[in-house]
């Protein structure tokens, strides 16, 4: 039994880009095409890219653009079915046992594993969603989870269904909109990849990066935006533990603007470097780069 495709109303890729723009997310054409095809085909989408390029924010903007409910499952080492798929209400089961004993009745094991005691977690909640728009399910940073958790996802990703051994298999009437993100901290298994469409989100071009910064930090001067965009792009070529992404660029620009900087001068840049550098070694490297940066507004 296969679920129907999600009920979405994007006309084409350009419409999707316009609707994201209304949510203050400047979507590139490649990512827009990947999202559009995943929606139209009813397939999960795996988004990979360096940390801070906007993968998670893109999924949030998708839900907002559709006006659809968003379920977010943050992955981590040790994540298991009882937190992602379903669990049983053990306290309620114990209470039912005690009440039956008090009445002199006997509960069979099967009586304790019914829908009455079932707790829906994000994935099962999306599968059993009734009415309204298809929910958007964000499975965030899947590369942080264990191999075993990937295996738990295969039925859901391939068939939009979840099997609860005591109750049977639940099938989605309409496939939820599923997007997985990964920072590539480890390789994902082929079985998971085969069940998803795929797209790599790269760092934005300088022009798009400047447009994003203008949108998110409207109080910053044009000169400061241009300098920050240029410096961050060059910083990614340095030997850094954590190269700065779009999120760090936004934070740094906002910090500089808060200090009243009109352009990238060493004193303000060094004072606000904590928004860009995330390790002591990176701070040292970036501080040296700041000192060598030929800011147009530098006074010496």
Asked whether the predicted pLDDT for residue 131 surpasses 50, the reply is yes
Q: How far apart are CA 281 and CA 271, in angstroms?
A: 16
Residue 110 pLDDT class (50, 70, 90 cuts): confident
- Region 95-101: mean pLDDT is 88
Alpha helices in the chain (DSSP H): 13-21, 29-41, 55-66, 81-84, 90-102, 109-112, 122-127, 147-159, 190-194, 206-216, 222-235, 246-258, 266-271, 280-292
Domain boundaries along the sequence of the chain: 13-85+121-201, 206-292
CATH superfamily for 13-85+121-201 is: P-loop containing nucleotide triphosphate hydrolases (3.40.50.300)
What is the structure's pLDDT at 260? 95
Query: What is the tens place of the pLDDT at every residue in 232-275?
Result: 999 999 999 999 999 999 999 999 999 999 999 999 999 999 99
Asked whether the predicted pLDDT for residue 124 surpasses 60, the reply is yes
Name residues whose C-beta falls within 8 Å of residue 285's C-beta, 6 or more positions apart in sequence.
238, 239, 240, 277
Min mean pLDDT across 76-80, 165-169, 272-276, 288-292 is at 288-292
The answer to whether 272 and 264 are in contact (CB under 8 A) is: no
Asked whether the predicted pLDDT for residue 293 surpasses 90, the reply is no
What is the structure's pLDDT at 296? 42
Name residues whose C-beta falls within 8 Å of residue 54's C-beta, 6 or more positions apart in sequence.
25, 201, 245, 246, 247
What is the structure's pLDDT at 269? 94
Name residues whose C-beta falls within 8 Å of residue 48's C-beta, 6 or more positions apart in sequence.
55, 181, 182, 183, 184, 198, 199, 200, 201
Name residues whose C-beta falls within 8 Å of residue 151's C-beta, 6 or more positions apart in sequence.
191
Residue 299 pLDDT class (50, 70, 90 cuts): very low
For the chain, give me the number of helices (H) and strands (E)? 14, 9
Query: What is the tens place of the pLDDT at every residue in 27-83?
Result: 999 999 999 999 999 999 999 999 989 999 999 999 999 999 999 999 999 999 999
3-state secondary structure of 118: strand
Asked whether the predicted pLDDT for residue 300 surpasses 60, the reply is no
What is the structure's pLDDT at 48? 97
């Amino acid at each position: 039994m296969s679920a129907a495709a999600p009920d979405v109303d994007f006309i084409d890729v350009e419409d999707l880009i316009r609707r994201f723009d209304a949510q203050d997310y400047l979507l590139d054409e490649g990512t827009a095409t990947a999202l559009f095809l995943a929606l139209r085909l009813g397939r999960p989408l795996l988004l990979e890219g360096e940390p801070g390029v906007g993968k998670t924010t893109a999924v949030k903007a998708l839900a907002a653009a559709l006006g659809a409910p968003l379920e977010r499952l943050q992955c981590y080492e040790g994540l298991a079915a009882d937190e992602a798929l379903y669990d049983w209400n053990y306290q309620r089961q114990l209470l039912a046992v005690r009440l039956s004993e008090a009445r002199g009745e006997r509960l069979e094991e099967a009586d304790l594993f019914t829908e009455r005691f079932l707790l829906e977690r994000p994935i099962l909640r999306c599968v059993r969603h009734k009415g309204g728009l298809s929910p958007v399910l964000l499975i965030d940073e899947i590369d942080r989870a264990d191999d075993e958790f990937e295996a738990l996802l295969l039925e859901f990703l391939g068939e939009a269904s979840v099997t609860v051994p005591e109750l049977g298999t639940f099938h989605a009437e309409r496939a939820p909109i599923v997007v997985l993100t990964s920072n590539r901290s480890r390789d994902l298994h082929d079985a998971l990849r085969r069940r998803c469409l795929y797209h790599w989100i790269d760092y934005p071009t300088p022009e798009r990066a400047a447009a994003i910064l203008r949108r998110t930090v409207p109080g910053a001067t044009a000169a400061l935006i241009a300098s920050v965009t240029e410096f961050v792009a060059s910083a990614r070529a340095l030997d850094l533990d954590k190269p700065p992404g779009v999120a760090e660029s936004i934070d740094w620009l906002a910090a500089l603007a808060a200090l009243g900087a009109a352009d990238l001068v060493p004193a303000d840049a060094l004072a606000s470097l904590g928004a860009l550098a995330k390790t002591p070694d990176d701070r040292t490297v970036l501080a040296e780069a700041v000192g060598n940066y030929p800011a147009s507004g530098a006074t010496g």
